[in-house]
Amino acid sequence: MPGSAPTITLLLGDITEQHAEAVVNAANSSLLGGGGVDGAIHRRGGPAILAACRELRASHYGGGLPTGHAVATTAGNLPARWVIHTVGPVYAVREDRSALLADCHRNALAVADDLGAESVAFPAISTGVYGWPLDSAARIALSTVRGTETSVRQIRFVLFDVRALAAFEQAGAELGIEISRQ
Ligand code: ADP
């Protein structure tokens, strides 16, 4: 039974340098690597992550990982135990895909619960090449993790630049979510 709510921390940094039990990858559905967070994780984590992703493609996820779903692999050489891969939605002006972005966060925490991970670091999913406006993504990310029952004790959002950090800080303030800064 989950007890008190996990702490939520915001920090400026690189997801590949996080000493968290699990780090979340903003993957694409192929699971075979890409740019941004995905590229950095595979570069720094080494070939063990790609090998595990290839196995997933050969077994459970022959058609790729669907948007909003999450799955774990080894973290290879990263200073984490696991990478939780999740596929964010591509932002669309004409269609509200917010529920899928919320699913990414909820399902990543569910995978972390299955692993028994107590600390999880998230990047700002979908806000890079997938084009999601930062302020909206920040609100969805923070409200979803705050609203999800989880055994994870520490949730960290690792923001790559000051603009992303400011967006998350503002979203936290607007939503009245208690946040620590690091
Ligand atoms: P998506 O395809 O889901 O949009 P991206 O990887 O392109 O994912 O970008 C997601 C966010 O992660 C962007 O805000 C980008 O600036 C940021 N980012 C890129 N590299 C890193 C990194 N090494 N650590 C943390 N955040 C990163």
Q: Say whether 38 is catalytic.
A: yes
Tally of domains in the chain: 1
1 domain residue, yes or no: no
159 domain residue, yes or no: yes
Q: Name the catalytic one among 14, 38, 113, 135.
A: 38
- Predicted model pTM: 0.97
Contact predicate 179/9, CB 8 Å: yes
Q: Which helix (H) or strand (E) holds 54?
A: helix 47-58
pLDDT greater than 90 at residue 145: yes
Cβ atoms within 10 Å, residue 63: 8
80 domain residue, yes or no: yes
2 domain residue, yes or no: no
Ligand 1 interacting residues, C-beta cut-off 6 A: 14-16, 26, 35-38, 40, 88, 123-130, 158, 160, 164
Query: Can you give the CATH number for the domain in which 39 is found?
Result: 3.40.220.10
Range(s) of the domain holding residue 177: 7-181
pLDDT tens digits, one per residue of 83-123: 999 999 999 999 999 999 999 999 999 999 999 999 999 99
CA of 60 to the centre of ligand 1 (A): 26
- Looking up tokens 């009245």 gives 176
pLDDT tens digits, one per residue of 38-79: 999 999 999 999 999 999 999 999 999 999 999 999 999 999
120 domain residue, yes or no: yes
CB hemisphere CA count around 131 (13 angstroms): 5
